[in-house]
Amino acid sequence: MTEEHEYLLALRLLEAEHKQPLNWLRQIAPTFAAFQQESQQIPSRWNKTVLHQLHEVRRTVQQHADHGIRCIPIESPDYPSRLAHSSDPPPLLFVRGSLGESDRVLAVVGTRSPTPDGLLHTEFWVHALGAAQPTIVSGLALGIDAAAHGEALRSGLPTWAVLAHGLDAAQPRANARLAERILLSGGAWISEWPFGVPARASNFPRRNRIIAGLSDAVLVVEASVQSGASITAKLAHGYDRSVFALPGRVHDVHSQGCLSLIADQVAQMALHPDQVLAHLNWSVRSPSEAGDPLKGHLAAVLNALQGPCRVDELQRATGLSTEHVLSALAELVWTGRAVARAGAYHKR
C-alpha cells in the first residue's frame, strides 16, 4: 500500500467515524502530497487528526500482513475487473483467501429470516446453476446468504463472502465455521474496510454495491420490499447486470420484494435454472468433465444410494465398516454428490 493509498484510507475512516463527508478537506488536499504541501490551509486540529489516523492505518497494514490479508488497489491487475467497471468501485479492496478471476460470477441474495421453502429453493438453484461452474457471491448473512455459500461448498463451487467490516473475523458468529470453510475450500472474504473496523449499519448498503459489482448476474430468492437483497438487485440493474427473482405467494412478506422487482422490471421472473443459463449464455459442463470417476469406498456408497438410506442400511448394502461409510458420506456430501435430509442420505 502506497502513501497515497494510506492517505485515502485514512480519509475514508475519518468520514465513517464522523458520519459525514470531508469534502472541504478533499478539495484542499486530494492527495497525500497536497496534504503535506497545503498543511497551512488546514486547521491544526484536523492536521493532527489526519496524521494520527495515518499512523493507525500504517499499524493496520502490519496487522493485514500478519493475518494474510491483501490490499488490492483499483489500478492493480489483480482487482476484479467487473467491480472496477462498476460506477462506484471502492478504491481499495481487502481480500483474505483466494480471489482468482472467474469467467462466471453469480450473486445469490435474500432475507435473513427465510421460509423452509426459501432455503430449499436456494440449495436447488445454486446446485442446478452449478452445472455451469460459476463463482457464487453473497454476504455471509444468516438465512439465504448462508444457504447459498453452504450449497456452493457442497457443489464444489468457488464462493466469495463480501463483508461489511474488517477481515479480522467473520460475522455473524453463527456463521464463523461456514466462513472458515470458505477459506479452506479456496474461496475468499472480501471487504472495503480494513482490519478492526466493526460492522456498522451504514456499511451494509455499501457492501451490497460490491456484491452487485462483482457479479455477472444476481438471483434474489426471498426478500421483503425494503431489504438489502432488493438494494443489491437494484444496484446490479443499474450496473447493467442481469437480475432474476423467484416469484412467490402474493401475500407472503418474504415474496413481496421479489414480486416488486419483477413488477418494476428490475428483475426477470426466474422459473427454471435452464432459463437463467440460456439468458446468460452459460454452457453446462458434461458429466465427463466433472472430474475423475469415483473409486473404492466412495463408489460403493454412492452406488448404494438408490433411495433415502441410513448409515446402517448402507453398511449392510456395501459391507463396509461404520467408519468407512461415514467417511465416504462426508466426502460425498462435501462434493455435492449426496445430501442429508431428515436423518437419511440421498443421491443428488
202 shares a domain with 117: yes
Q: Is the peptide bond before 172 cis (omega within 30 degrees of 0)?
A: yes
pLDDT at 60 over 60: yes
> Rounded to 5 degrees, what angle do the CA atoms 263, 214, 184 make?
120
In this predicted structure, what is the pLDDT of residue 340? Answer: 80
List CB contacts of 40: < 8 A, sequence separation 6 or more. Answer: none
Residue 83, in any domain of the structure: no
Which of the listed residues 66, 82, 106 is the one where a domain comes to its end?
66
Q: Which phi and psi angles does 338 have, rounded to 5°?
A: -140, 165
151 shares a domain with 58: no
- Would you say 127 and 336 are in contact if contact means Cβ atoms under 8 Å apart? yes
In this predicted structure, what is the pLDDT of residue 175? Answer: 94
122 shares a domain with 60: no
Q: Which phi and psi angles does 108 have, rounded to 5°?
A: -125, 120
42 shares a domain with 1: yes
Residue 75, in any domain of the structure: no
- The residue with greater pLDDT, 77 or 323, is 77
Task: Assign residue 162 the CATH number of its domain.
Answer: 3.40.50.450
* Region label for 186, one of left (φ > 0), alpha (ψ between -120 and 50) or beta (otherwise): left
pLDDT at 249 over 50: yes
Question: Which one-letter DSSP state was computed for residue 9?
Answer: H
In this predicted structure, what is the pLDDT of residue 178? Answer: 94
318 shares a domain with 170: no
Which of the listed residues 238, 259, 280 is the one where a domain comes to its end?
280
Q: Tell me which amino acid residue 52 is.
A: H
In this predicted structure, what is the pLDDT of residue 290? Answer: 42
Mean per-residue pLDDT, 156-178:
92
pLDDT at 286 over 70: no
Share of the chain above pLDDT 90, in %: 51
Residue 309, in any domain of the structure: yes
pLDDT at 291 over 70: no
Residue 340: which domain range?
A: 292-347
- Would you say 11 and 22 are in contact if contact means Cβ atoms under 8 Å apart? yes
143 shares a domain with 263: yes
Residue 89, in any domain of the structure: no
pTM summary value: 0.77
Of the pLDDT bands very low, low, confident and very high (cuts 50, 70, 90), residue 338 is: confident
The winner for highest mean pLDDT among 1-10, 59-68, 232-241 is 232-241
254 shares a domain with 340: no
Residue 85, in any domain of the structure: no
149 shares a domain with 19: no
- The residue with greater pLDDT, 101 or 271, is 271
In this predicted structure, what is the pLDDT of residue 294? Answer: 60
Return d(Cα 179, Cα 110) in angstroms, integer.
18
Q: Which phi and psi angles does 84 have, rounded to 5°?
A: -60, -30
- Cα 258 to its chain centre, rounded Å, is 20
Number of domains making up the chain:
3
CA–CA distances in Å: residue 153 to residues 136, 293, 309, 337: 9, 20, 23, 12
Return d(Cα 54, Cα 161) in angstroms, integer.
28
Lowest average pLDDT, out of 60-74, 231-245, 275-289, goes to 275-289
| Residue pLDDT, tens place only, 258-269 | 999 999 999 999
In this predicted structure, what is the pLDDT of residue 295? Answer: 63
Residue 77, in any domain of the structure: no
Lowest average pLDDT, out of 11-25, 178-192, 289-303, 304-318, goes to 289-303
pLDDT at 293 over 70: no
Of the pLDDT bands very low, low, confident and very high (cuts 50, 70, 90), residue 114 is: very high
Mean per-residue pLDDT, 88-102:
88
CA–CA distances in Å: residue 321 to residues 7, 273, 295: 61, 39, 17
234 shares a domain with 158: yes
Q: Tell me which amino acid residue 27 is.
A: Q
259 shares a domain with 297: no
257 shares a domain with 338: no
In this predicted structure, what is the pLDDT of residue 287? Answer: 39
| Neighbouring C-beta atoms of residue 72, cutoff 10 Å | 18
CA–CA distances in Å: residue 157 to residues 168, 266, 281, 288: 24, 27, 19, 17
Task: Assign residue 323 the CATH number of its domain.
Answer: 1.10.10.10
Quickly count helices (H) and strands (E) in the chain: 15, 11
201 shares a domain with 300: no
pLDDT at 292 over 60: no
- The residue with greater pLDDT, 23 or 298, is 23
